[in-house]
Structures are given as C-alpha cells and as structure tokens.
Amino acid sequence: MMKKSSRIAAAVIAAATVLVACSPKPHTPSMTEDGKRIVVIGHAAPLTGTQAHLGKDNENGVRLAIDDLNAAGFKIGDESVVFQLDSQDDQADPRMATTVAQKFVDDGVKAVIGHLNSGTTMPASRVYNSAGIVEISPSATTPRYTQQGFDNAFRVMANDIQQGRALGEFAVQELSAKKIAIIDDRTAYGQGLADEFEKAAIAAGAEIIVREYTSDKASDFTAILTKIKGKKPDLLFFGGMDGQGAPMAKQMQSLGLSMQLLGGDGIHTAEFMKLAATAAEGVVASLPGRPLDTLANGPAFKKRFEAKYGKIQLYAPYCYDAMMILAQAMQRAGTTDPVKVKQELAKTDYNGVTSRIRFDAQGDLTQGSITVYRAKAGQWQVLKTIESK
C-alpha cells in the first residue's frame, strides 16, 4: 500500500501531466514588434542524410528570396508583411514527408516550397490538396505530380517526360549509343526518369540490352556493374541521385568499364564531382533550364548566393524563383487566402533567375529547356541546350 505522502505526490504529478498535455502549442506571434504581419512559408527537403547538401541548397534559395523581399519592404493589400520560413527535414522519406506536410497544415503555413524529391512530393501533395494549401515544387520532376488534377500544385522546372526524352535522343543522336544499359534506384524520380529515357532511346533507334535496379541507399554496385560489363553496352544510363551515382562511377573506373555514364539532374551536382573524384571525368548529365550564366538574372544571382551560402549545389535558383512568384501572386491577390493565391499563380508570367515562368493548365511550365553537361576538370561544361517538345 502507498503511504499517504506518496499518494499525494502521485496525484500532483498526474494533475501536472494532464495540464501539460492539454496546454496549447507555444504561440507563434502573428505580428512583428513594429506592426508588420508575419506570413509563414513552409519548406521541406532532406536536411539530414546523404541528400542534406541538396536540401540545404533548396532552403538557402528560399531564404535568399525571403531576405530580398523583406529587405525591400513588402505589402499584401494595404498591409506590410514580413515573410518567415519554417524549414522542415523530410529525410527524403515518403512517410516523414506526410508527417511534415500535416505539421505545416496544423501550424497554418500559408504555402509550401517543396518537396525536393518526387517520392516525397507525391504523398505530401495529397495532404496539401486536402487542406487547400498551395505547393510549388522547385525540383520534383515526376510527371505524376501535376497529373493528379490538383489546382494548388505548381512546378518551376521541366518534368521527367521532357528531360527523359531529351536525354534518350541525346544519347543516340549525339553520343552515338546503339546498345544501352540502364540502372535506376526504384524511386519515383529515378525509375520515372529511366522509363522516359528508355522509351525515347528506343524510339531514336537504340537497343536496351539490360536494365538493372538498385536502391537510393545502396553504395556497392560491383555485382550489377560486372553483369553489365559482360553485355558490352556503349552507354550506361543511371536514374538516381549523386549519393549513388558517384560511387557507381568510381566502381566503373575500378572495374575498367570504359562505357559512357549518363544521368539526369540527380547527379549534376558539385557533390558528385567531389565524391566521384577522377571518375567524374567525362560523365554526362542534364539539368532542366538554361545555364545560369546565359540568363539575364543568372550571373547576379549566382554571385550573391555563393557569397552568402557557398557553391550552388543544384536547385537553389529554382527555389528562389518559386518564392518570388509566390510572393507576387499574394501581392496581386491582395491576400494570402490560398484560393485566391492559386488563381493568381496560374496567371504567372515572370522573368526569373532560371527562365520565363508561365504555367499550363496542369501547373507545369509551358516551355522547359534541358541543358546537357559534361564533367571536365571538376566543372560541368555545357554540351547542348535542348528545347523541350
């Protein structure tokens, strides 16, 4: 039997626990001290793990846009506002992505820039659609994202139908590939891009002699590469990210595979160069959009971004543009009401850092360019820019 003092102490602890459990979440101020309304924008990407460099790059692109907007002074309707970023780590995991999406809904963010990966964007987009929150993806390229019929979903780069077709045709017409091997990482992005590449390469006259699969967590590709080596392809296409593409390139070098390695935007990174080291030399990869240096607003953005955050990894310019078109849509709408904001987003005609941004009825760019690069002496050098069909 409990002593009386123990029973009292237990009762006090129990009561305190109930009070804590029932207490509201800490209050997030809605106004600044100088009377400006705070508008919270959500951002989601992998901020830990093997893709953290890409996630932070995305976050920094949004942050630079928010800094520019706030520094200039921004009004929505007659009200002065300050944008504030709520950046969350979805760990490149679809289940965590839905958790993050629901957190944004519960916290009342006004819109979301994200997610980075196609595999996280897809499940999260259903949460945002149900809640009526606008989502702009700066980097998820799966065509399925904008094929769901969600009028709150937008994308500021070319999709994998456009990118895969461009790469498939480029492999055959420019790289003279006749026999092609394919490896993909079974993610929505990697497999989807590989599917589109395969269709385009076959249509252009190539033969796919072997297709293998790995995962986005793998690091040893020796068995797959040894099998492919015996098939003697002209070219190996990899659908996946730099965390797998770089060790794959190094293992190809170790095994004496001289075939051309070709990939999409997932391996077009500074991190790939760093991890692959000498094995990066000669690798070909694509990136939606035109080279920043050839665009009117590109060089200035690159200089300012790299002075503050270091080398651009991949999608930071697209994140900057996504935040800018969102802010302008809110300004035109005169409100942060998502119903009115998405209507204004659909009317966007904006000369951004990455391109002139206009959307079709699905929320995709009306015209998306694809640029193909070759790795040379630690830099990505332009081979060709292709206008998507």
DSSP 83-126: EEEEEEE-TT-HHHHHHHHHHHHHHT-SEEEE-SSHHHHHHHHH
Residue ranges per domain, the chain? 37-158+294-358, 161-287+371-387
Contact criterion met (CB below 8 Å) for 146 and 364: yes
Q: How far apart are the first and last CA of the chain?
A: 80
Residue 313 and residue 54 in contact, taking contact as beta carbons nearer than 8 Å? yes
pLDDT, tens digit, 9 for 90 and up, residues 270-326: 999 999 999 999 999 999 989 999 999 999 999 999 999 999 999 999 999 999 999
**Residue 221 to residue 214: CA distance in whole angstroms:** 8
pLDDT of residue 367: 83
Token digits for 367?
């015209």
Report d(CA 267, CA 243) in Å as an integer: 8
Separation CA 282–CA 266 (nearest Å): 16
pLDDT of residue 141: 92
| Mean pLDDT in residue range 20-47 | 78
Counting residues of the chain whose pLDDT is more than 90, the rounded percentage is: 89
pLDDT in tens, 36-67: 999 999 999 999 999 999 999 999 999 999 99
Query: What is the identity of the amino acid at 160?
Result: D
| Range 72-81 average pLDDT | 96
Round to whole Å and give the CA distance between 233 and 177. 8
CATH 3.40.50.2300 fits 161-287+371-387, yes or no: yes
Model pTM?
A: 0.86
Q: Rounded to an integer, what distance in angstroms lies between the CA atom of residue 184 and that of residue 166?
A: 17
Does 37-158+294-358 match 161-287+371-387 in CATH topology?
A: yes
pLDDT of residue 156 exceeding 50, the answer is yes
Output the CA torsion sign for 355, 358, 364, 367.
negative
* Positions of E strands within 178-231: 179-184, 207-213
pLDDT for 28 beyond 90? no
- In CATH, the architecture of 37-158+294-358 is 3-Layer(aba) Sandwich (3.40)
pLDDT at site 29: 65
Say whether pLDDT at 19 is over 50: no
pLDDT band at 368 (very low <50, low <70, confident <90, very high): confident
